[in-house]
Structure 1
């Protein structure tokens, strides 16, 4: 696999991100998918926090509004600190193309403190919020096709999981730019867009396109292997809301909620396509 595998490259003066084929959406070759866009925005938000010298803060909430398609063209990313105090920093981030904002995000970074020693309700551990066994998905050093679990057991054969079963995915994050290891926050933010897949993938493929995502984190993932399992889903009149649990090999670390619109006439049928580890698609 190439050492420079990434969603974007930097242009000559570093002022914009140029998409690579890995960033292209399955919905259209003219637009980018949310994994790449959320990862790029998170990288910019985290850079703003670091520029403010706030190494004492940790990402706790990440919201992305995907209100216009992000085209397969260079991205300019703008950041602004909205609020900063001793215990938090809120930063807004936006993607601009041809002088127009096409996607925006907001990141809330909080200062960790002691956990109160009081009785609080907590759910029982759920075996579905766990990664595939190491003999199925060994610890990875490079990006790979995600592993999926549904009514069928963990595998990288997407066609085998085109069913009405509850979905889980296990992902190794692609770098936003070449030879820059993603942070735990960027890994979580990029993976979060996959909650649309785990909650909206059914027996006929993916028939919904998400309009947003909201990630909440109580800790950062350990490394670049991150999983999602569908927790809840509801839909009325073509508007769907889904929630997935995020986890790594140490346990649960957060949740992701997505809102989606029915898009049945342009469904993504995974029985007709396969993916290689370098991101290329081939007809099944």
Structure 2
């Protein structure tokens, strides 16, 4: 039974050690991790590092630097650009090579900004996304095990050309039974925008993302997130998926992903 994405196993110098569970396994390849759990884990370390500041995350950028194995990982976070109004924090995940040396497999760069009261000027670019009755088949990987077992995925009927809509909710904690913040819950599903907005049949093509960039004008609230996503495919094997992101209270931000497109032989 999958009851979390990672188990904390100690420290190694400046890094923290985690063992991924089967709930991190990618729908593309069961030997590697889906992008969302690593993004969420590194977001957790960034939030913990910034906990005493008056700053909150405005942007998260996940760069996948190599295949992330379903094996013990080392994660560390540091302040790259200190500041009281604007700061950059970075978290990096590494895994062991066959010879035991570490290689970086993923990195999250976060811009954190100082908060102030702008409630009287707040505005949203999009109206709230309302959840309706889900269609029977939630996604093109229906029946796949691993990460997809840890997310409740409710695909919505065709929205008429504005993008594919789906509501996603994490079903397990991120690390053991430790508290999971709402931002971490969003990170646990947002990499799935590529699947939600798929413009290609995964039986015919692979379209794996190399990154996920999330901009948030408002922090997410709760554990249910709506994605309105659409993929665009170029003529030379490169694509992009963009998405609008919602919680139950309305529009919270956007995401974008760069895709490597490969035809299955």
Q: TM-score, normalised by structure 1?
A: 0.75
| 2:112 aligned with 1:109 | yes
Conservation of the 8 A alpha-carbon contact between 2:89 and 2:111: yes
- Write the distance in 2 (CA, Å) between the matches of 1:13 and 1:119: 42
182-191 vs 33-42, which deviates more?
182-191
- Write the distance in 2 (CA, Å) between the matches of 1:204 and 1:165: 21
Unaligned segments of structure 1, at least 5 residues: 137-142, 154-163, 267-284
1:212 corresponds in structure 2 to 211
Are residues 124 and 16 of structure 1, via their aligned partners in 2, closer, same or farther at CA, if it must alter by over 3 Å? closer
3-state SS of 2:66 partner: coil
Task: Please give the per-residue CA displacement for 1:19-66, whole angstroms capped at 9, x wherever unaligned.
Answer: 11111111112111001111111111111112xx21x22111000101
1:79-158 to 2 correspondence within 5 Å?
79-98=77-96, 99-115=102-118, 123=125, 125=127, 129-132=129-132, 144-151=151-158
Are residues 119 and 70 of structure 1, via their aligned partners in 2, closer, same or farther at CA, if it must alter by over 3 Å? closer
1:185 corresponds in structure 2 to 183
Shift of residue 264, structure 1, vs aligned partner: 3.1
Aligned residues: 241
- Write the distance in 1 (CA, Å) between the matches of 2:173 and 2:5: 7
Are residues 233 and 201 of structure 1, via their aligned partners in 2, closer, same or farther at CA, if it must alter by over 3 Å? closer
- Write the distance in 2 (CA, Å) between the matches of 1:111 and 1:131: 33
Task: Please give the per-residue CA displacement for 1:162-189, whole angstroms capped at 9, x wherever unaligned.
Answer: xx99422211123211212321221222
Segments of 4+ in structure 1 off by > 4 A? Answer: 116-120, 203-206
- Write the distance in 2 (CA, Å) between the matches of 1:116 and 1:10: 39
Are residues 231 and 251 of structure 1, via their aligned partners in 2, closer, same or farther at CA, if it must alter by over 3 Å? farther
- Write the distance in 2 (CA, Å) between the matches of 1:103 and 1:27: 17
Unaligned segments of structure 2, at least 5 residues: 97-101, 137-149
Task: Please give the per-residue CA displacement for 1:98-146, whole angstroms capped at 9, x wherever unaligned.
Answer: 21111111011111224397899x7463x7x333369x9xxxxxx6531
Conservation of the 8 A alpha-carbon contact between 2:10 and 2:18: no
Task: Please give the per-residue CA displacement for 1:219-269, whole angstroms capped at 9, x wherever unaligned.
Answer: 111111111111563523111112100001100001000000113318xxx
Are residues 119 and 113 of structure 1, via their aligned partners in 2, closer, same or farther at CA, if it must alter by over 3 Å? closer
1:1-284 to 2 correspondence within 5 Å?
5-11=3-9, 15-50=16-51, 53-54=52-53, 56-98=54-96, 99-115=102-118, 123=125, 125=127, 129-132=129-132, 144-151=151-158, 166-173=163-170, 174-204=172-202, 207-230=206-229, 233-265=232-264
Which structure shows the higher strand fraction? 2
72-81 vs 182-191, which deviates more?
182-191
